[in-house]
Amino acid sequence: MRPLISPEQHQQYEERGFFVLEDLFTATDLEPLLAVLEKHHALHEARLQQTGTEGISRAGEIAFTAHIARNDPTVLAFCRRPEFIAITTQLLGPDVDLYWDQTVFKGPEGQHQFPWHQDDGYTPVTPSPYLTLWLALNDATVENGCVWVLPGSHRLGLLPHKPGPTGLTCYPLDAPDQGVPVPVRAGSVVVFQSLTVHKSGTNRSSGMRKAYIIQYAQAGLRSALTGELIPGTIPIARGGNAVA
């Protein structure tokens, strides 16, 4: 398996808390995945139209559709692709589990940014940080709400988070330093640590911004609050090799 992460990218990951793998997947790679993910999103959006909100998902605005790989063999097979085995074992070590996965579909002509947060802020775990792979299913631009990051913020450790109208937040949206945008083409992946402070911008375009978030962790992930094993994790690699 060819190495996917260069020494320069590994240095960016350690020093800035993120890097980008441009064009990791082709349109042909994404086509069957996108078809399945869109079906799951449509079912979720239909529920949201009845309830208005569900957690931090809001009808017609933003939908976080989680745990798809647990329930769909096509999606699980994608999460076990050789590219992900190579990325995760290089950054996390030889024994890796799939911790969380979700689509994030952000509707057009929105009014809200998704606030600055660390992924660990929602569920503190150990060992930390784990690895977030933000896969663009269509082009993610500043106009349609790409990810923004605060470079180097992972070195601050887990910050206090407080509830806001659109999700937990640990850093003001009106602070002078608003970090850097990370626009990426479809098929590209933003790789960042779960302690890296990030947000996503408002979708001011006329179309949907579609992303698939895949989070991997060292095997044996536990709650930092209770010490109990996190339920529902899926083995991905053992001894540096893919789990069948």
Alpha-carbon torsion angle 14, 140, 68, 74, nearest 10: -100
Query: What per-residue confidence (pLDDT) applies to 165?
Result: 85
- What whole-number distance in Å separates Cα of residue 196 and Cα of residue 17? 6
pLDDT in tens, 12-64: 999 999 999 999 999 999 999 999 999 999 999 999 999 999 999 999 999 99
CATH topology of domain 16-242: Jelly Rolls (2.60.120)
- What whole-number distance in Å separates Cα of residue 234 and Cα of residue 44? 23
pLDDT in tens, 138-172: 999 999 999 999 999 999 999 999 998 889 999 99
Asked if residue 202 has pLDDT above 80, the reply is: yes
Q: Measured on CA atoms in the order 234, 139, 59, 203, is the torsion positive or negative? A: positive
Residue whose C-alpha is closest to residue 200's, from 192, 52, 75 = 192
Summary mean pLDDT of the chain: 96
pLDDT in tens, 169-193: 999 999 999 999 999 999 999 999 9
Query: What per-residue confidence (pLDDT) applies to 4?
Result: 85
Q: Measured on CA atoms in the order 109, 113, 119, 120, is the torsion positive or negative? A: negative
3-state secondary structure of 63: strand
pLDDT in tens, 76-87: 999 999 999 999
Query: What per-residue confidence (pLDDT) applies to 97?
Result: 98
Asked if residue 111 has pLDDT above 80, the reply is: yes
Domains of the chain, by residue range, sit at 16-242
Helix, strand, coil shares of the chain as percentages rounded to 5? 25, 30, 40
